Amino acid sequence: MLGSLSLLAATPFAFRSFLPSSSNNRSLSSGTNHQIAKQLATESGRGSQKLLRLHVFPVYRRVSYGSPISAVMIDDSSTITTSEENTQNIGILDIDSALRPFKDHFQYRIKKFVDQKNLFENYEGGLEEFAKGYLRFGFNREEDGIVYREWAPAAQEAQVVGDFNGWDGSNHKMEKNEFGVWSIKIPDSEGNPAIPHNSRVKFRFKHGDGVWVDRIPAWIKYATVDPTRFGAPFDGVHWDPPPSERYEFKYPRPPKPKAPRIYEAHVGMSSSEPRINSYREFADDVLPRIQANNYNTVQLMAVMEHSYYASFGYHVSNFFSVSSRSGTPEDLKYLIDKAHSLGLRVLMDVVHSHASNNVTDGLNGFDVGQSSQESYFHTGERGYHKLWDSRLFNYGNWEVLRFLLSNLRWWLEEFKFDGFRFDGVTSMLYHHHGINMPFTGDYNEYFSETTDVDAVVYLMLANSLINNILPDATVIAEDVSGMPGLGRPVSEGGIGFDYRLAMAIPDKWIDYLKNKNDEEWSMMDLSCSLTNRRYTEKCISYAESHDQSIVGDKTIAFFLMDKEMYSGMSCLIDASPTIDRGIALHKVGASSNVRGLSHVSFMSCHMIHFITMALGGEGYLNFMGNEVTRYIFCLFVQFGHPEWIDFPREGNGWSYEKCRRQWTLVDTDHLRYKFMNAFDRAMNALDDKFSFLSSTKQIVSCTDEENKVIVFERGDLVFVFNFHPENTYDGYKVGCDLPGKYRVALDSDAWEFGGHGRVGHDVDHFTSPEGIPGVPETNFNNRPNSFKVLSPARTCVVYYKVDESVEETNGINVISVSEKLEMDASEQKNAEESAILVDHGDKENPQETNDRDTASFDEELQKDGAKQESIEEPAASVLDKKIVGSKLDEPEAEEMEDRTLDD
């Protein structure tokens, strides 16, 4: 327990820290895997991570502010009475009673949050005005001139230098105010700005020992480097293009989706050529692929300028600058606007957990031995991350708050990003940064003297600001610890994120792929790992992201198929057992060791990604390229590359060979990569049609260890996963909620997904009642109805309930998922064939089929001129009628609670 409020108030500095998110081995040493957030369900005395019921709470109202911005750093106690009133009713304690022993902790951090907001109101005009620091600091146009301001309290003298004055600052000396802010106004010259657009500038200052140093301005909006020299120093660039050269946004932000289906991407390595790709090339060439595969969100990595390319963008040097390797700020705006025109939202991978240790190019260069209160960072060991070799922010510092909060507003308003994925949140939340910390789910691990309350308050302020500026923003936390309340509103005492990344899931797949034979896979263990999350806090599930693909690791597909990724992916030869298995598990789920890898790898990839998507969270993420060669051990496989990622570095001769995406693999018709891409597209189309990811109805009814089968319902879809390497089950009985007629919605074994076409899609499955209505223990697997299916080995098949009232209505146009995809794809020159088909109706009554205006898969292919002789029947069928998960009553909610997250 954190301790009493009086103790905390007496020693506030004891609770400020920074923490390395164990999900990121940013040092590239990859010595240890990240700690798995087990979130175990423990006894109530220790705290519980079991499912929690939904609750409704009031929210803070927005306040209008008008007072000017100042650089004041003040400790004011005048708001204590007001803040105490806000800490009496803490909503999060009503959601989870096991948090009540930590009420003092929540009161303390809420008080600090409210007090800080009140200080902003009193001295800065409010939180939103405070976050407009970029309009005051750095270079800004003000009446007949350019005003430059920089916070550098330790500097003794300061000048601005650059191309405009021949790098001689003697005539451009700056003045310092009482808050350590240096400023200068440079009048226009003959009506033109004294500092030309796109010219180089630096901040020159003298520190205590009399030494003069040049630094890139902290708020610089663009920085460049000599592209022909590795390790060359960066230059700050004054970016103020004339109106004719500024990019003007043309398209509105797309609405917030019910569930984000996220395509994580790195622009620089998105080219098929061994070079750095540009923002405009990514917009024109890659975004259409992402849209064609039915993602609704793009998450961009490495946007903020970073001097070391191989840091993957996580050692940020210039926080307001667009990475110049891929283009200019205007080019990035083009990319985001193009994404919006395609209906894609764009999230930014924001790094506020640490900063580059680089002195010459980065923010660290302003640290010249001053105290922590006069620096962006903590001093001593507290200000240095020993695993990441980077600097750690002092989140209790007024100007650090201005800098970071303004940074968020800058990216939202200047570039129209739709939200953020916060990197390294675990590193921020705790003084130990998560290093060597095996989180077990004990609440004492989250709320104690090890918690960095200053960082927690910063994140609460950040999420409040983001929601005030853009209420539809999507904000995701990369946290491996599983801190309770991270994904609850600030108004309840939570930290305010919309989602957290389900980081334990990829670790589970890595463990299974590396260490277990197919026969050793536990259906209960997999099910519990995928569903083990706090019910009231949403998660983004993923089987692999960029973290699983860096040098030394492999993608899931590469793990499953190994060297046969190079030799066995041609459709012109029969698939080997290894390739067959790999595609199957890539679709469904994977399992194998080196010995098993040679036996069925292809289908495994489908299964792993799909069960992760369907059961693991309220949103889904895939890394660029992994849709083609899916799964854990090698970033970027989907549309592009089956191997690992290796950035140019001294150890590989500065090669770009493995820092790109081989899009030709999926574009080549005779290669099997197209099957994985087609299934990826179909997975997303299924959610687009049935919205199962956003459904709160999630019930695992069967974990059959003997037969290696998992059956569950998400919304009103019924999912049947058969992980057995050999056994096919005819007449396998599955439970369901609603009575009626069920048909195939998606089938991983279909020909177009590289399967064997064993499941008939024109078969009607009628339910039978089970046991006594309303008495679950008398039902089949606690489900009131059941039906029987054919379940081939290593496949997943999804069933939807037919709306017979629609089916019986003549003249109704039933549009299939594939038809929808074809219409979308017609606008994209690189769009591929659709993967999910409309139901073909009663084959004995073709007239009824014609009346419903259906189209077969073969007809679809003929339209595209891409008919394949190997395809003999449609892959799946989906009616255009959405099936919405019914709201659970209390008994059903309790049943779901017990079945889905009970350890």
Kindly report, residue by residue over 642-682, the tens digit of the pLDDT.
456 777 777 888 787 777 777 777 767 767 667 888 899 99
Mean pLDDT rounded to a whole number for the chain: 77
Do the beta carbons of residue 631 and residue 509 sit within 8 Å?
A: yes
- In single-letter form, the type of residue at position 617 comes to G
Q: Does residue 282 carry a pLDDT above 80? A: yes
Q: Is 747 contained in some domain? A: yes
Say how far apart CA 559 and CA 679 lie, in whole Å. 19
Do the beta carbons of residue 220 and residue 318 sit within 8 Å?
A: yes
Structure tokens, 726? 């050999």
Number of structural domains in the chain: 2
**DSSP classification of residue 17:** -
Do the beta carbons of residue 345 and residue 474 sit within 8 Å?
A: yes
**Residue 679: which residues within 8 A CB-CB, separation 6 or more?**
586, 587, 606, 610, 748, 753, 754, 835
Q: Is 719 contained in some domain? A: yes
Q: What's residue 795's pLDDT? A: 94
pLDDT digits (tens, 9 = 90+) for 610-619: 999 999 999 9
Output helix, strand, coil percentages for the chain, rounded to the nearest 5: 30, 20, 50
Say how far apart CA 714 and CA 333 lie, in whole Å. 38
Say how far apart CA 486 and CA 462 lie, in whole Å. 13
Do the beta carbons of residue 412 and residue 466 sit within 8 Å?
A: yes
Say how far apart CA 410 and CA 454 lie, in whole Å. 22
Q: Is 704 contained in some domain? A: yes
Q: What's residue 671's pLDDT? A: 74
Q: Is 191 contained in some domain? A: yes
- In single-letter form, the type of residue at position 487 comes to G
Q: Which long-range contacts link 362-366 to residues 24+ away (Cβ below 8 Å)?
A: 362/216, 362/307, 362/316, 362/317, 362/318, 363/218, 363/317, 363/318, 363/319, 363/391, 364/391, 365/213, 365/215, 365/216, 366/152, 366/154, 366/215, 366/218
Q: Please identify which residue in the block is written with the tokens 């879809």.
A: 717
- In single-letter form, the type of residue at position 614 comes to A
pLDDT digits (tens, 9 = 90+) for 537-583: 999 999 886 555 554 444 444 444 444 443 333 344 454 454 454 44
Cβ atoms within 10 A of the Cβ of 230, count? Answer: 14
Say how far apart CA 237 and CA 229 lie, in whole Å. 18
- CA 236 from centroid of its chain's CA atoms: 30
pLDDT digits (tens, 9 = 90+) for 85-138: 555 679 999 999 999 999 999 999 999 999 999 999 999 999 999 999 999 999
238, 271, 298 - which closes a domain: 238
In this structure, the strands spanning 181-187 and 199-206 are: unpaired
CATH number of the domain to which 206 belongs: 2.60.40.10
Do the beta carbons of residue 361 and residue 234 sit within 8 Å?
A: yes
Do the beta carbons of residue 676 and residue 606 sit within 8 Å?
A: yes
pLDDT digits (tens, 9 = 90+) for 19-50: 323 333 333 333 333 322 222 222 333 333 33
Say how far apart CA 590 and CA 723 lie, in whole Å. 8
Q: Is 74 contained in some domain? A: no
774, 805, 836 - which closes a domain: 805
CATH number of the domain to which 743 belongs: 2.60.40.1180
Mean pLDDT, rounded, for 586-592? 38
Name the residues annotated as catalytic.
Answer: 423, 478
Q: What's residue 753's pLDDT? A: 87
Mean pLDDT, rounded, for 399-410? 98
Instruction: Give the helix/strand (H/E) hosting 792.
Output: none
Q: Is 818 contained in some domain? A: no
Query: Containing domain of residue 766, as a range?
Result: 699-805
754, 774, 805 - which closes a domain: 805
Instruction: Give the helix/strand (H/E) hosting 679.
Output: helix 673-690
Q: Does residue 859 carry a pLDDT above 60? A: no
Do the beta carbons of residue 140 and residue 220 sit within 8 Å?
A: no
Which position has the higher pLDDT, 874 or 421? 421
Write the burial class of residue 66 (CB in 10 Å: 0-12 exposed, 13-18 middle, 19+ buried).
exposed
Do the beta carbons of residue 757 and residue 751 sit within 8 Å?
A: yes
Do the beta carbons of residue 270 and residue 317 sit within 8 Å?
A: no
Structure tokens, 536? 């009231």
Q: Does residue 719 carry a pLDDT above 90? A: yes
Q: Is 748 contained in some domain? A: yes
Q: Is 229 contained in some domain? A: yes
